[in-house]
Structure formats: C-alpha cells, structure tokens
C-alpha cells in the first residue's frame, strides 16, 4: 500500500510558505515513489470539511512556480479546534488513510498538532513545519518568512529616512508584532551612523509610555532635525494595556478577545498625539499592516531555500513519528542547520526578542542585536549620501 501524506497551511501567509509545501511534495516523491499527497484547503478546516486537492500529479515546473509564489496557495485558517473539532479532523485523516499530516504554521499550529497527536492512536505522524514573520517560535534561531518580511521593513525605513532628510519632520511606521519585536527591530538593521533612521525603536518586550515616546521624539528632532520611529503594533504600558487602549482608539477584537492591532485606528491615534505635541510639524504615521507579510518584490533567497528545506525535513521527521522542524543559526555561508524537537517544545510557546538586542535604557539596537540582523539580511543597498 502506498503512503498517504496530508499537508496544510495555518496562520498568516508569508512570502515563502508555499516553498515549504513544495519541499514536502518533492521529498515525498523522492522518498516514497507513488505516494499520494493531499493538500487541505484552508488548513484544518479543509480536513474537517473534506476539502482536499491532489498534489501528487503537480508537474515539476508548476512545483517550481509554487515555490516562488508568495501567499498561501492552499488557503489558510486561524481556527483553534476544540475536542469535537479535533475528532472530526482525525476521522477525516483516517478516512483518507493518512500516514502523516504536515502542518505549516506558527506556535498555535504546533499546538493543534500536539492535541491531535495526543488524541490519535499513534498510527498517524503529526509534523509541524515552522512559519511566521514574527520570528517568535522557541527552539528556532529564526523562522521561514521572517527574513523576507524583515527585508521589506529594512528597505522601507531606509527609504523613508531619505524622504525625511529631504523634508524634515516626524515619521512613525507601525509594524506587525503582537508579542515579539524582531520584525520592528529589523528596521534598524542597516543603520550605520547615529543620524541614520530609525532614531527610535519600540518593541512589545519593553514597557511603553506615551509621555516617554513624545519626549524621545522631541529629543531626536533637536539632535537630527527629524525623527523616524519604528513601533511594534503590540507595544503596551507597564500595566500590560496595548497602546491602542492607552490612546482610547476605536479598537476591534477578534473571536478570541484579542485587540485587532493591524488596523488604521492605532496609527490615527498616534498621529493625533503627534499633532497635539508638535503643532505645525510635518508628522506622518503609516500602518504597515499586512504589506511586509507576502510582498512579492522582496523575497529572500535564503528564506525561500530554508522554507523549502524545512518541508523536506518534515517528511524525514514523519518517518520517525511526531515532531516540530527547527531552523538553527546560519553560518557565514548563510546555511542553517535544520533539525527537530518534540511538538510540546514549541506548541503554544512564544519566543520574545532578547532584551540584550536593545541598548539599556535606550530605543536603539545594541551591537548584539545588530549582529543578529546583519547575519540574516543581505548587505544594504549602496546609496549616495545626501548633501544635507
């Protein structure tokens, strides 16, 4: 009897999540000729609803195109299955005689797999393949999707700093990241001198105060004639209240009660604070929202290769049982070690950016933080220094 693999995508799409699916299909073909490979539409919801597509016959040319296409080609979901939902998933996996279920996603995805593995009789292998632009998976040095998103953020802040050198003022870019500040901190990856923007970096790992923020902006304007700020959408006060609530912005909540952070209301509230504090000053606030997540113009070659390799390794892990694929630290040759850990090592856990990545009592990257991002990102573009 031939092997049967099911693969699905969960959580937010990325620029390279499809490369992981391509890696899975490639590895299954090589390791198990004649195996069936089913893709579930919209994650575990597709398994529950028996919405599968046959990936077994996809041509090599189309598989290559898939690997280079951003987004989530199978469709995704943020469903968090309860016991009854999980039982329906297991019944459908058994109905298609699945030997392995490989789910590409973040820590919630790993959590779903842990629950499924605990409820199964051990005949199906449950494997988590990592993905998240937030870079917040424990046991990983970095995660597929992060490098490409960080490239977008680094380019965006390099560009806007040049803009605000020409026409000085205050700029705030609000970047995705509810609990981890890696993506926001990548804005300063190409900062080489004290006058380079961003001049201030605010991340969820450090308590935020509106008064301190306005004082920091005022100081930067006095020193540099302008102020460029990178701010995580998830920054919160010492009491844990999100900035959106602190500013009394019109906020939305999802089905789990979480404040919807990637909306424009937060940016508008920050803009109003700046207008009140600095009347007559050119001040702009942009909410990056989903833009860095699957941007087709900036897909890192290393990111895509590691995403593909994670899919390949997931098939190897499935041969041994359950587990979560991990990405280790990259070498100078930008080659990372691919490994695996038990599902419970990753499931439901959040990795925070180390405090040592920022200078003490400062909103700037430390040498350690700069080395981390320099190791992952390519060299910055060679630009001509303005005459200003």
Q: Write down the domain spans for the chain.
A: 4-133+296-345, 150-292+354-376
3-state secondary structure of 276: helix
Q: Tell me, what's the pLDDT at 256?
A: 43
Same fold flag, 4-133+296-345 and 150-292+354-376? yes
Q: Tell me, what's the pLDDT at 251?
A: 56
Q: Tell me, what's the pLDDT at 255?
A: 47
Tell me how far apart the alpha carbons of residues 266 and 21 are, in angstroms, rounded to a whole number. 35
What DSSP element (H or E) covers 101?
strand 100-105
Task: Please identify which of the residues 134, 161, 216, 309 carries the catalytic annotation.
Answer: 134
Rounded to the nearest 10 degrees, the angle between the axes of helix 264-277 and helix 210-224 is 60
This prediction's pTM: 0.94
With a CB cutoff of 8 Å and minimum separation 6, the contacts of 296 are 15, 70
Confirm if 116 and 40 have CB atoms less than 8 A apart: no
Q: Tell me, what's the pLDDT at 2?
A: 77
Tell me how far apart the alpha carbons of residues 164 and 281 are, in angstroms, rounded to a whole number. 12
| Nearest alpha-carbon partner for 207 in 178, 182, 176, 242 | 242
Cis peptide before 198 (omega within 30 of 0): yes
Tell me how far apart the alpha carbons of residues 249 and 276 are, in angstroms, rounded to a whole number. 15
Enumerate the H helices of the chain as residue ranges: 17-31, 44-48, 60-67, 83-95, 107-119, 146-166, 182-185, 210-224, 243-246, 264-277, 301-320, 367-376
Rg, C-alpha atoms of the chain: 22
Three-state SS across 12-33? Answer: CCECCHHHHHHHHHHHHHHHCC
Sign (positive or negative) of CA dihedral 170, 175, 180, 185: negative
Fold of 4-133+296-345: Rossmann fold (3.40.50)
What dihedral do alpha carbons 89, 106, 256, 262 form, nearest 10°? -140
Tell me how far apart the alpha carbons of residues 116 and 55 are, in angstroms, rounded to a whole number. 23
Per-residue model confidence as pLDDT tens for the chain (388 residues): 579 999 999 999 999 999 999 999 999 999 999 999 999 999 999 999 999 999 998 999 999 999 999 999 999 999 889 889 999 999 999 999 999 999 999 999 999 999 999 999 999 999 999 999 999 999 999 999 999 999 999 999 999 999 999 999 999 999 999 899 999 999 999 998 999 999 999 999 999 999 999 999 999 999 999 999 999 999 999 999 888 788 765 556 554 455 555 556 888 989 999 999 999 999 999 999 999 999 999 999 999 999 999 999 999 999 999 999 999 997 766 778 999 999 999 999 999 999 999 999 889 999 999 999 999 999 999 988 888 7
Q: Taking the domain 150-292+354-376, which CATH number applies?
A: 3.40.50.460
Tell me how far apart the alpha carbons of residues 88 and 247 are, in angstroms, rounded to a whole number. 43
Active site residue 163: no
With a CB cutoff of 8 Å and minimum separation 6, the contacts of 233 are 174, 175, 176, 177, 178, 261, 262, 266, 287
Q: Tell me, what's the pLDDT at 257?
A: 52
3-state secondary structure of 126: strand
| Nearest alpha-carbon partner for 285 in 149, 154, 160, 197 | 160
Tell me how far apart the alpha carbons of residues 324 and 126 are, in angstroms, rounded to a whole number. 9
Q: Tell me, what's the pLDDT at 246?
A: 80
Tell me how far apart the alpha carbons of residues 127 and 253 are, in angstroms, rounded to a whole number. 31
């Amino acid at each position: 009897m031939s092997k049967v693999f099911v693969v699905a995508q969960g959580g937010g799409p990325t620029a390279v999540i499809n490369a992981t699916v391509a890696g899975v299909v490639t590895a299954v073909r090589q390791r198990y000729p004649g195996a069936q490979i089913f893709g579930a539409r919209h994650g575990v919801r597709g398994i529950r609803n028996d919405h599968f597509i046959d990936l077994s016959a996809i041509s090599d040319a189309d598989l290559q195109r898939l690997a280079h296409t951003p987004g989530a080609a199978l469709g995704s979901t943020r469903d968090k299955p309860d016991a009854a939902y999980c039982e329906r998933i297991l019944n459908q996996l058994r109905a298609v005689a699945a030997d392995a279920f490989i789910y590409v996603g973040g820590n919630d995805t790993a959590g779903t797999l842990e629950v499924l593995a605990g409820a199964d009789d051990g005949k199906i292998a449950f494997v988590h393949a990592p993905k998240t632009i937030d870079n917040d998976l424990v046991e990983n040095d970095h995660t597929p999707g992060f490098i490409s998103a960080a490239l977008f953020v680094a380019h965006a802040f390099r560009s806007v700093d040049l803009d605000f050198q020409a026409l000085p003022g205050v700029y705030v870019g609000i970047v995705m990241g509810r609990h981890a500040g890696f993506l926001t901190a990548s804005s300063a990856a190409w900062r080489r001198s004290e006058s380079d923007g961003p001049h201030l970096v605010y991340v969820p790992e450090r308590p935020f105060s509106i008064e301190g923020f306005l004082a920091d902006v005022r100081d930067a304007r006095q020193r540099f004639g302008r102020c460029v700020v990178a701010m995580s959408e998830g920054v919160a006060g010492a009491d844990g209240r999100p900035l959106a609530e602190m500013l009394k912005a019109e906020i939305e909540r999802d089905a789990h009660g979480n404040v919807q952070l990637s909306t424009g209301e937060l940016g508008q509230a920050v803009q109003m604070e700046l207008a009140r504090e600095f009347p007559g000053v050119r001040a702009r606030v942009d909410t990056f929202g989903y833009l860095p997540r699957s941007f087709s113009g900036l897909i890192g070659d290393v990111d895509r290769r590691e995403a593909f390799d994670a899919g390949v390794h997931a098939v190897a892990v499935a041969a041994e049982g359950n587990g979560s694929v991990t990405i280790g630290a990259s070498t100078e040759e930008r080659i990372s070690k691919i490994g695996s850990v038990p599902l419970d090592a990753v499931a439901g856990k959040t990795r925070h950016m180390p405090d040592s990545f920022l200078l003490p009592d400062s909103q700037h990257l430390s040498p350690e933080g700069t080395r981390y991002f320099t190791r992952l990102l390519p060299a910055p573009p060679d630009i001509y220094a303005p005459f200003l």
